Chain A
Amino acid sequence: MNSSLRWRKFVSGFMLTMTGVCAVVAVSVLFLILGYLVYHGGTSISWNFFTKLPTPVGETGGGMANAILGSAKLLLLASLFGVPIGFFGAIYLAEFSGGAIAFVVRYAADLLNGVPSIVIGIFAYSLVVLPFKHFSTLAGGFALGLMMIPITLRSTEEFLRAVPSTLREGAMALGASKSRTIATVIVPAAYRGILTAILLAFARVAGETAPLLFTAFGNRFWSPGWNQPTAALPEMIYRYAIAPYDDWHRQAWAAGLVLLGLILVVNIVARGILARGIAVPRS
Chain B
Amino acid sequence: MATTTTTVPSAGPVTGSRSFLSRLIEGDEIARLITFLFAASVVLITLLLVFELWQGSVLARHKFGLKFFFTRVWDPIFDQFGALPFIYGTLVTSVVALVIAVPLGIGAAIFLAELAPQKISDTLQFFIDLLAAVPSVIYGLLGVFVVIPLMRQYLQPALKGTLGFLPLFQGPAYGVGFLTAGIVLAIMVIPYIISVSREILLAVPRDQREAALALGATRWESTWKVVVPFARGGIMGSIFLALARALGETMAVTMVIGNTPTISASLFSPGYSIAAVIANEFTEATGDLYLQSLIELGLVLFLLTFILNGVARLLIVATSQKGGGMGHA
Footprint of B on A, CB under 8 Å? 8-9, 11-13, 15-16, 18-23, 25-27, 29-30, 33, 36-37, 40, 84-85, 87-89, 91-98, 101, 104-106, 108-112, 114-123, 125-127, 146, 149-150, 153-155, 158, 161, 165, 168-169, 172, 177-180, 182, 200, 203-204, 206-210, 213-214, 217, 234, 237-238, 241-242, 249, 252-253, 256, 259-260, 263-264, 267-268, 271, 280-283
Taking a contact as CB atoms closer than 8 A, the residue among B2, B108, B140 that contacts A155 in the complex is B2
Closest to B3 in A: A110
Known contacts A22-B107, A96-B35, A126-B52; A115/B305 CB under 8 A? yes
Please name the 3 residue pairs, one residue from A and one from B, whose CB atoms are nearest each other, closest first: A207-B135, A116-B248, A22-B107
- Which residues of chain A are within 8 angstroms of B127 by Cβ–Cβ distance? 27, 30
Task: Assess the B133–A92 pair: CB atoms within 8 A.
Answer: no
- Which residues of chain B are within 8 angstroms of A84 by Cβ–Cβ distance? 38
Q: Distance (Å) between the CB of A103 and the closest chain B CB?
A: 9
Taking residues whose C-beta sits less than 8 angstroms from the other chain, chain B's interface range is 35 or more
Q: Distance (Å) between the CB of B189 and the closest chain A CB?
A: 11
- Which residues of chain B are within 8 angstroms of A16 by Cβ–Cβ distance? 111, 115, 219-220, 223
Known contacts A101-B39, A110-B3, A110-B313; A264/B14 CB under 8 A? no
What are 13 sample pairs from A and B whose C-beta atoms fall under 8 A apart? A20-B115, A110-B313, A116-B249, A118-B275, A165-B9, A178-B14, A178-B23, A206-B135, A209-B136, A237-B137, A238-B137, A238-B140, A263-B135
Distance, CA A101 to CA B38, complexed state (A): 13
Q: Does B212 contact A (CB under 8 A)?
A: no
Task: Assess the A282–B1 pair: CB atoms within 8 A.
Answer: yes
Give B46-77 interface residues, CB cut-off 8 Å to A: 46-49, 52-53, 56
Task: Assess the A116–B138 pair: CB atoms within 8 A.
Answer: no
Known contacts A8-B221, A179-B30; A105/B43 CB under 8 A? yes
- Which residues of chain B are within 8 angstroms of A252 by Cβ–Cβ distance? 141
Task: Assess the A92–B52 pair: CB atoms within 8 A.
Answer: no
Q: Does B104 contact A (CB under 8 A)?
A: yes
Q: Does B142 contact A (CB under 8 A)?
A: yes
Contact mask for chain B residues 294-314; partner A; CB cutoff 8 A; 1 contact, 0 none:
110010011001100100010
Given contacts A116-B248, A209-B135, 7 further A-B contacts (CB under 8 A): A23-B107, A30-B131, A119-B248, A119-B302, A214-B283, A217-B283, A267-B129
Closest to B126 in A: A271
Interface hit among B91-99, B190-198, B264-272: B190-198
Closest to A15 in B: B220
Task: Assess the B128–A26 pair: CB atoms within 8 A.
Answer: yes
- Which residues of chain A are within 8 angstroms of B249 by Cβ–Cβ distance? 116
Known contacts A16-B220, A169-B14, A177-B26; A207/B131 CB under 8 A? no
Taking a contact as CB atoms closer than 8 A, the residue among B53, B129, B140, B309 that contacts A114 in the complex is B309
- Which residues of chain A are within 8 angstroms of B45 by Cβ–Cβ distance? 108, 112, 146, 149
Taking a contact as CB atoms closer than 8 A, the residue among B26, B38, B107, B131 that contacts A180 in the complex is B26
Q: Distance (Å) between the CB of A8 and the closest chain B CB?
A: 5
Q: Does B40 contact A (CB under 8 A)?
A: yes
Distance, CA A253 to CA B141, complexed state (A): 8
Task: Assess the A18–B107 pair: CB atoms within 8 A.
Answer: yes
Known contacts A112-B49, A169-B14; A241/B295 CB under 8 A? no
- Which residues of chain B are within 8 angstroms of A9 by Cβ–Cβ distance? 218
Known contacts A123-B52, A210-B251; A11/B130 CB under 8 A? no
Footprint of A on B, CB under 8 Å? 1-3, 5-6, 8-12, 14-15, 23, 26-28, 30-32, 34-36, 38-43, 45-49, 52-53, 56, 103-108, 110-112, 114-116, 124, 126-131, 133-142, 144-146, 187, 190-191, 194-195, 218-221, 223-224, 244, 247-251, 255, 275, 278-279, 282-283, 294-295, 298, 301-302, 305-306, 309, 313
- Which residues of chain A are within 8 angstroms of B283 by Cβ–Cβ distance? 213-214, 217
Closest to B308 in A: A114
Task: Assess the A11–B218 pair: CB atoms within 8 A.
Answer: yes
Closest to B12 in A: A98
Task: Assess the A126–B56 pair: CB atoms within 8 A.
Answer: yes
Known contacts A111-B46, A118-B301; A88/B107 CB under 8 A? no
- Which residues of chain B are within 8 angstroms of A125 by Cβ–Cβ distance? 282
Q: Distance (Å) between the CB of A14 and the closest chain B CB?
A: 8
- Which residues of chain B are within 8 angstroms of A106 by Cβ–Cβ distance? 3, 5
Task: Assess the B145–A241 pair: CB atoms within 8 A.
Answer: yes
Closest to A109 in B: B42
Task: Assess the B301–A116 pair: CB atoms within 8 A.
Answer: yes
Closest to A22 in B: B107
Taking a contact as CB atoms closer than 8 A, the residue among B38, B115, B138 that contacts A237 in the complex is B138
